Amino acid sequence: MRVNKKKFIYLISPNKIYKKFFKDLQKVLETEKINFFQLRLKKYSFKHKILIGKKIKNICKKNNVKFLINDDPILAKRLCADGCHLGQKDMNIKEARKIIGKKIIGITCHNSITLAKIAIKAKASYIAFGAFYSSKTKKTNHEANIKILKKIKKITKTPIVAIGGINSENYKNLLLNNANFLAISGYVWNNKKYKPLEAIERLK
State the CB neighbour count (10 A cutoff) for residue 26: 14
Q: Contact 161/127 with Cβ under 8 angstroms?
A: yes
Give the closest residue to 60 by CA, choosing from 40, 90, 41, 38.
38
Would you kindly state where each structural domain of the chain is located, as residue ranges?
A: 9-169+180-201
Angle at the Cα of 103 from the Cα atoms of 204 and 60, rounded to 5 degrees: 45
- Name the fold adopted by 9-169+180-201: TIM Barrel (3.20.20)
- Return the exposure string of 174-192: e unless at least 16 CB atoms fall within 10 Å of the residue's CB, then b: beebbbbbbbbbbbbbebe
- pLDDT number for residue 65: 98
- pLDDT number for residue 6: 78
How far, in Å, CA of 140 to CA of 152, rounded?
A: 21
Q: Contact 20/188 with Cβ under 8 angstroms?
A: no
Helices (H) and strands (E) in the chain, counts: 9, 8
Q: Contact 196/165 with Cβ under 8 angstroms?
A: no
Does the pTM surpass 0.75? The reply is yes
State the CB neighbour count (10 A cutoff) for residue 63: 16
Q: Which stretches of the chain score pLDDT less than 50?
A: none
Q: Contact 182/161 with Cβ under 8 angstroms?
A: yes
| Sequence letter at residue 13 | S
* Residue-wise pLDDT tens digits, 143-202: 999 999 999 999 999 999 999 999 999 999 999 999 999 999 999 999 999 999 999 999
Residues paired with 85 in a beta bridge: 70, 106
- pLDDT number for residue 134: 84
Mean pLDDT of the chain: 95
- pLDDT number for residue 90: 94
